[in-house]
Structure 1
Amino acid sequence: REQRRKPADSGPLNPQRLALRSLESMRELSPAYLGRFVSYLDALFWLEKAAAGYSPPKP
């Protein structure tokens, strides 16, 4: 699926291309690790979104 979103004319150090290559390597080496890694990223994104609307109580 991610192959379709790969930038067409990206250089070898393009961040999106590097991220996709890393995820592809993880999938080949250890699909279970990739699953845990993606779950971890999902949790981080959720926390970031939840913290965006948080304002600490005023003393």
Structure 2
Amino acid sequence: MEEMLLERGIVVSYETIRRWSLKFGAAFARSLRRKAARPDDLWHLDEVRIAIRGKPHWL
């Protein structure tokens, strides 16, 4: 997160991110759990497990 903000010219410390997470993290997580998934929602995966000839591979 620090690097993402730094790219935009915003300098924050690790402690700032930690405090923000403590203050807003629980409410944000509750709102995500409350929202029901819709058929037209888009999901982006960082990695996927596939099996080729029975051997698992991670992409």
TM-score (norm 2): 0.30
- Structure that is richer in strand per residue: 2
User: Which structure is larger by alpha-carbon Rg, 1 or 2?
Assistant: 2
- Structure that is richer in helix per residue: 1
TM-score (norm 1): 0.30
